[in-house]
Structure 1
């Protein structure tokens, strides 16, 4: 989960993130992440975490989503 959050953070902050093309990427999460798969991982993590931890993670994800 920490890798997914770190990658999502990098992805939304990267200046070219809107140019991402799933057909042209290498598929390596740290280089060319699959955006839907990455968000799915984060959503699953939120669903299985205890409520307090899930709230914290949701806030972190929401702050990153605002940059998207």
Structure 2
């Protein structure tokens, strides 16, 4: 992950291959994660939000 030459995601003009696991939008995935967190219990949502914030700060 810390390799500067690693390509984590590329937005292809043709939409990529169309397979979510391969060419899905990380922005769309993040919106989905936020919706999941919103639907969780307060305690569990707080725990997951903490983990997600740590990853946001790392990347």
Q: TM-score normalized by structure 1?
A: 0.62
Where does 1:40-59 land on structure 2 (aligned, <5 Å)?
A: 40-59=31-50
Larger radius of gyration: 2
Instruction: Judging by fraction of residues, say which structure has more helix.
Output: 1
- Number of positions where the alignment pairs a residue of Structure 1 with one of Structure 2: 55
Gaps of 5+ in 1: 1-12
Gaps of 5+ in 2: none
Q: Does 2:10 match 1:20?
A: yes
CA RMSD for the aligned pairs? 2.2
Partner of 1:6: none
Q: TM-score normalized by structure 2?
A: 0.68
Q: Does 2:55 match 1:64?
A: yes
Inter-CA distance 67–20: structure 2 relative to 1 (3 Å threshold) = farther
Equivalents in 2 of 1:37, 1:25: separation in Å?
15
Higher relative contact order (CA 8 A, sep 6+): 1
